[in-house]
Every structure is written in structure tokens, then in C-alpha cells.
Amino acid sequence: MRTYLLAPVRAALPALSGREFDPAREPFCLEREYAPIDQFVWDESGYCPEARAYVGWEDDGFCALLCAKEREIAATVTEFNGRVCCDSCLEWFFKPFADDPRYLNIEVNPRGVALIGFGASRAERSNLPSLPEGMDIRASEHRGGWWAVAYRVPNALLRALYGRAPVPGEAMAGNFYKCDESIHPHFGSWNAVVWPKPDFHRPECFGAIGWQGVNRA
């Protein structure tokens, strides 16, 4: 099982909108390690684009930036909670508490359109009714290279869902994904998912998420 340590946020999330993205030029990316989304266990075509997740923590929540390098992408879904997984899509499934099986699935396409679900499994979950206040989802321009999405997961949202917010040092879990079910069908993950067919809703295959510079509980 892989472990990803979240570094404290010092540089702000980049604005992204209306410009190209390059992780080598972004202070937010340069100040932290990334989680490589490089496990393509169901690959049949050889299409395995480079993809990364950069996540950090601050006093009032988490900041996430996910990116992928692709020559061609799909971005057709425009409605919140639409099937963005059929587009080019970057996803973070986040389980903030070891003693609670419920997790968030945050799926975002290149337009910055999201689907956000909450529950303990694929069958036991529901989509959030609207985009939560303070998430501030952003997406970059794509011109044949890197594209990125960025957003916040505020503690206020976690308190509304769980009745509490994570305390630095507590054990967390999750996985990062890259997929497309249209122009270049593929399914990549950070922590390998051991399952006969593509299924991101396998919390037993989540990796460990920790806190850089903080002792884990």
C-alpha cells in the first residue's frame, strides 16, 4: 500500500482559468511531492497518460491540484453531477477518518465540472445536491499538453458531512484516479486496485494519506 504525505500549504492554488498549465512552473506544485497516478491495471490499449495529484493541508481544509498530460481530451459534460467520468477526468476519493467508512468521491472534467458523491460504498452513497460553498473548482486551458483542475475541500464541508474535521496527525485514506470512457478509454490509479474489472469504488484498495511534519495518530 502506498502512502502520500500532505505538505502544509504555503503557495496558493494557481488560478488556472484561461491559461496553460505546467507543473514545473507552479509554486504550489514545486513545494510538495506528488502522488503519481501510474497504476493502469486494466490496460488493454497501451494508453497510459502521465498524471499526478498534489494535495496539501491548511488550517481550514485541504487544497488539491490534479493534472494529466494528453494530446487530446474530451470535455462534453456541463452539468453538475453529470457523467464526467465519460470525459477525460481526474478524481480524488477521500476517506478522512479511519473509524468512519464513508468517503467523498470528487470527479472533475477539463471544464471544471464536477460530480461529488458521499457514502460508504458504490451502492451506499448519494451525490451532493449542489457544489459546496468554498470548493472553488478551477480548470486550466488545454493546448495539447498538460491540463489541470484544482479545488479546496473545506473543513466546513467535512463538518457538515461527518460532524467533525480531521485533526493533524490522524490517519486518513484515499486514492487518485485518471480515466476516460470515450476517446481514449483508460483507468489509472495511484494505489493499485485489485479487481477483475474497472471499479474505482474499492475503499479496501485505498492508500494511506498522512500529514507531513506531523506524527500520525
12-39 residue pLDDT tens: 999 999 999 999 999 999 999 999 999 9
pTM for the whole thing? 0.96
Asked whether the beta carbons of 154 and 134 are under 8 A apart, the reply is yes
What is the C-alpha to C-alpha distance for residues 16 and 99, in angstroms, rounded to an integer?
A: 36
Whether the predicted pLDDT of 112 surpasses 50: yes
pLDDT-derived band at 123 (thresholds 50, 70, 90) equals: very high
Give residues with Cβ within 8 angstroms of 132, minimum separation 6.
116, 154, 157, 160
